[in-house]
Amino acid sequence: MNDLHGILFAYRSDANLGELTRPRNTCSLPFGGRYRLIDFMLSNCVNAGITDVGVVVHQSYQSLLDHLGSGKDWDLSRKHGGLRILPPFSYTELGHGEYRGSMEALAGVYDYLEDIRQDYVLLAWGDIAINLPVAEVFEQHLSSGADITMVCTPTLKGAPRFSEYVEISEEGRITDLSIHPTAADKALESLEVYILSKRLLMDMVDYCSAHDVTNFSRGVLQPRMKSLKMMPYVHRGYVGRFQSVGDYYQRSMDLLDPSIRADLFNPARPIRTKDQSNPSTYYGPDAKSTRSLVADGCFIEGEVENSILARGVIVEKGAKVTDSVLMQGTVVKAGASLSYVIADKDVTVNEGRMLMGHATYPLAIAKGSVV
C-alpha cells in the first residue's frame, strides 16, 4: 500500500507530565522498557506499507533526532522518501514559541507537503501507545467514500479536558465533535488520527494560513462537519494516552497484563525501535524477578517485583524494586528500596535509600538525578 503518506506530529510536550517531559517532548518519552512513544505510530505506518513518513517537530527534539536517526531501524532509510524530520522552515512570520495548532504546524512545512508523492495522507500524533492496523483504516477510508476518516476508541482513555469526542448519526457519519468538554458524555473518543486526501489537506492548509486558523479540530473539522463526509474508524484494541504522570504510571503498569501485551506487541505488526545492541539481561545468584517486564542489558542481583525495567538498569544485591518504572540506565545500589517510583534515564539511587510513592501519586525522579 504505497498510496498513503504518514505525517506524525511530534512537537507537543505535555506540561502535566512534569519532570518526564522537561528534557524532551512527549513523543520521545521512554515507554515499555525499550520503546519511545513515537515508535508505536511510526511502526504502525511501516506495518501498513507506508514508505514515506514526515515527523513534524518544533522544539526540544534533540532526543527524538538521536532516537530516529536515519530511520533505518524502521526500514525508513530510503533512496526516495523514507523518514524526514521536519523542523519549521517556512515558518518565519508568525512569531515565536510553540506551534499554536496542527494547521499552523502543517503550514510551517508547506514545501514538504507540496512534494508528497501519495494521494492520501495519514495525520497522527506520535505520542499514543497503540498498535493500529493503519492498512485497515485506509481500506475503510477508500471503501466508505469518506472525505475524512477519524480513528476513535469506544473505551474512553483521555481526561475530558484534554480530549475530543464525536457523535455519530444512524448512518454512521460523524455529526458532532466536542473539544475539551468538562465531562465525557459521548460514546466515542477521537484519537486525533485522520486519513484524508492530499488535495483536501492542501486546500485546508491554504485556507487556514490565509485566515490565520491554527487549530485543525476547531478551525476545520467543526465548521465543515456538514460539507465534508467524516466517518469514524472504531479501534477496539488497546490505547495508551499520556496526559499526566499518573497516566504514564498506569499505562506502564498496563503492560503487565498479558492481554494488553498481546495486543500492543502483536507479532504480526511488530513495534520497532532503535537497536542498541545490548547483551542479554543477567540475573545474579540471589536475584528475584516476578510479574515484571525487563528489557535487555540489565544486571539484576536484587529483587524486582511488579515493575518495568528498561535497557541497562542495574539492581544491586539486597536492593528491592516494587511497583516501579525504571528507565534506561537507572542504578539502584545495594540495599536501596523503591516502590511506586518512576525513575527517568540515568538516575542513581544510592545505598540504602528508601523511596516510596503511591499508586495514585507515583514519585517521579528527574533524568540524571542522584538520590
Binder to other proteins among 72, 84, 173, 274 (CB under 8 A)? 72
- Tell me how far, at minimum, the Cβ of 238 lies from other proteins, in Å: 13
- Tell me how far, at minimum, the Cβ of 14 lies from other proteins, in Å: 25
Cell (9 digits) for 13: 510536550
Q: Does 299 bind other proteins (CB under 8 A)?
A: yes
- How far, in Å, CA of 306 to CA of 294, rounded? 10
Other CB atoms within a 10 A radius of the CB of residue 224 amount to 15
Binder to other proteins among 13, 140, 243, 292 (CB under 8 A)? 292
x/- string (CB under 8 A) for other proteins, residues 261-290?
Answer: x---x----xxxx-x-xxxxxxxxxxxxxx
Binder to other proteins among 294, 327, 336, 341 (CB under 8 A)? 294
> Which residues, at least 6 apart from 203, have a Cβ–Cβ distance to it below 8 Å?
none
Q: Which is nearer to other proteins, 90 or 290 (CB)?
A: 290
Q: Does 296 bind other proteins (CB under 8 A)?
A: yes
- Tell me how far, at minimum, the Cβ of 272 lies from other proteins, in Å: 6
x/- string (CB under 8 A) for other proteins, residues 227-266?
Answer: -----------------------------x-x--x---x-
- Tell me how far, at minimum, the Cβ of 71 lies from other proteins, in Å: 13
DSSP calls for 210-272: HTT---HIIIIITTTTTTS-EEEEE--S-EE--SSHHHHHHHHHHTTSHHHHHHHT-TTSPPP
Cell 510551517 identifies what position?
A: 108
Which range touches other proteins (CB under 8 A), out of 60-68, 165-173, 303-311, 350-358?
303-311
Pair 145, 191: CB distance under 8 Å: no
What per-residue string of b and e applies to 247-268 under the rule 16 or more CB within 10 Å gives b?
A: bbbebbbbbeeeebeeebeeee
Q: Which is nearer to other proteins, 182 or 277 (CB)?
A: 277
* Among 293, 239, 247, residue whose Cα is nearest residue 264: 239
> Phi and psi for 85 in degrees, rounded to 5?
-90, 130
* Among 58, 59, 63, 70, residue whose Cα is nearest residue 38: 63
- Tell me how far, at minimum, the Cβ of 271 lies from other proteins, in Å: 7
Q: Which is nearer to other proteins, 9 or 40 (CB)?
A: 40
Q: SS3 string of 352-369?
A: CCEEECECCECEEECCCC
Which range touches other proteins (CB under 8 A), out of 27-35, 133-141, 184-192, 229-237?
27-35
Q: Does 291 bind other proteins (CB under 8 A)?
A: yes
x/- string (CB under 8 A) for other proteins, residues 192-231?
Answer: ----------------------------------------
Length of the chain equals 371
Cell 513534524 identifies what position?
A: 56
Q: Does 49 bind other proteins (CB under 8 A)?
A: no
Residues that bind other proteins (CB under 8 A): 32-34, 72, 256, 258, 261, 265, 270-273, 275, 277-297, 299, 304, 308-310
